[in-house]
Chains A and B, each alone.
Chain A
Amino acid sequence: MKYIDEFQDPGLARRLLDDIHATVTRPWALMEVCGGQTHSIIRHGIDQLLPEEVELIHGPGCPVCVTPLEVIDKALEIASRPEVVFCSFGDMLRVPGTGRDLFQVRGEGGDVRVVYSPLDALRIAQQSPDREVVFFGIGFETTAPPNAMTVHQARKLGIENFSMLVSHVRVPPAIEAIMSSPSCRVQGFLAAGHVCSVMGVGEYPELAERFRVPIVVTGFEPLDILEGVRRAVRQLERGEHTVDNAYARAVRPEGNPAARTMLEDVFEVTDRAWRGIGVIPDSGWRLSSKYRDHDAEYRFAVGGIRTAEPAECRSGEVLQGLLKPHECEAFGTLCTPRTPLGATMVSSEGACAAYYLYRRLDLPATKAREASPVV
């Protein structure tokens, strides 16, 4: 599906592409920071439709991918305990920890359950007062408010057998870390629309000014992405670097104030390790001391678990846009969705999985089109 007539509105897509082609005069590198955007780009061949001067670099926008190995190991340790019902979103089941994953823990007898919402886990805790129910709270700013509300509810309703293993991450410090790297090639950002629907755009002007980088809030549908690219390229060609909202139908400048207030109450900012990247200062949230009773890390004393990342997985470089997935030696051989070395291959939103699924190897555009399966 790499043909423009398959877009939702081919006429509009053509006009956006024509405008980008007419605007661009020299090479520009843009980073999308949302795994959903990465998949949409690869699935629709947007990168191949753009002028060759415009390069899209895939950023660290998949929460499953960036969750560090030691947090997975903490989850595996807790989930293995006989008194525990361990609840998780489905896409964490196959993320490899050291030697195994949650899927295997269940095979070994652990009570691992998949939930759609953190509130489902809270309900299980209400219904099973004799069990310890733990929810695996990962994700970016979109997922953090639901998890914050769930802990708040647990406190309000006095549900003492509910706790959360929290490993939330924040986008702006990741942008800062990427732009501060000496090897950074990124000149513009497509900011993640759903993150901004919660947080608004207030955190970005300072970053845009300090790094002189345009930041365009973008949705993840094909036309949204083309529009985001068009606005970013226009700014770059004019030498501008402002924050622009190209996803106004879902993003208000102030975000969702009620959600932000709850985040401030339940969580506090902390340094957080990102898988394959390392510690980024102030890049995460943990439960604030007020909610320590519901913090699974303390309740099950797993805070001391420290795990080194495997050397053969280069997902850290992929997550920073320094390496394309197919440039990794393990890609498609040692590392496949069935035998993933790292989370970028196992997560449905990971860049490596997108490249594997859509057979995107280092082929010229026409060859890649022919090689792409109809899925």
Chain B
Amino acid sequence: MCLAVPGRVMDIEERDGTRMATVDFGGVVKEVCLEYLPDLQVGEYAIVHVGFALQRLDEESARQTLDLFAELGMLQEEFGDAWETAAMEAGVDPVEEVRKS
């Protein structure tokens, strides 16, 4: 969870007085808070951690990192089903765990 993943800003809107963005992480799309990088624009890349953009990143670096994360399975770790992972680690039927969650 301490890793941060680069993503590309798709659109920006104000919600509850907070600047929020839709961000694409190599195919996975999440809501991201822009309060710490308020001048980030659509099309730009940023390092995002637990739903917050923390620092700008150039496109080439962002793409390289995303490719590496995909290859290492880290995107799955960050955005995949945590109950399924925990169930497998615990030796419990993962299908049952996902159904419960």
Contacts and interface: CB of A to CB of B under 8 A. Distances in A.
> Real complex partners, A and B?
yes
Interface of B: 1-4, 16-18, 30-31, 33, 35-38, 47, 49-52, 54-55, 57-58, 61, 64-65, 67-68, 72, 77, 79, 82-83, 85-87, 89-91, 100-101
Task: Pick from A63, A64, A117 the residue with the most CB of B within 10 Å.
Answer: A117
Contacts of A249: 57-58, 61
A139 B49 CA distance: 11
A278 interface: no
A118 B33 CA distance: 11
A140 B1 CA distance: 10
Contacts of A64: 1
Given A149-B36, A256-B55, 4 more contacts: A117-B52, A142-B54, A146-B50, A338-B89
Task: Pick from A35, A113, A221, A250 the residue with the most CB of B within 10 Å.
Answer: A250
A153 B3 CA distance: 24
A142 to B, nearest CB: 5
A106 B86 CA distance: 12
Nearest to B60: A249
A153 B61 CA distance: 32
Contact of B52 (A63, A149, A349): A149
Interface string A77-95: 0000000000001110110
A106 B68 CA distance: 34
A258 B91 contact: no
Nearest to A195: B2
A221 B16 contact: no
25 contacts: A61-B2, A63-B2, A89-B50, A90-B1, A90-B85, A93-B83, A103-B86, A103-B90, A114-B83, A116-B51, A120-B51, A143-B1, A143-B49, A146-B33, A146-B51, A149-B52, A197-B55, A198-B54, A198-B55, A249-B57, A249-B58, A250-B47, A258-B35, A258-B37, A349-B1
Nearest to B87: A103
A93 B68 CA distance: 26
Nearest to A9: B64
Interface in A177-220: 192, 194, 197-198, 220
Task: Pick from B2, B38, B52, B83 the residue with the most CB of A within 10 Å.
Answer: B2
Nearest to A257: B36
Contacts of B72: 43
A264 B58 CA distance: 29
A243 interface: no
Contacts of A34: 2
A319 B87 CA distance: 26
Interface in A138-156: 139-140, 142-143, 145-146, 149, 153, 156
Contact of B82 (A43, A61, A90): A90
B3 A36 contact: yes
A8 interface: yes
A149 B79 CA distance: 21
Contacts of B87: 103
A93 B86 contact: yes
Contacts of B52: 117, 145-146, 149
B64 A91 contact: no
Contact of B68 (A8, A256, A262): A8
Nearest to A140: B2
Given A153-B16, A221-B68, A338-B89, A93 B82 contact: yes
A94 B79 CA distance: 17
Contacts of B91: 338
A250 B61 contact: yes
Contacts of B50: 89, 116-118, 143, 146
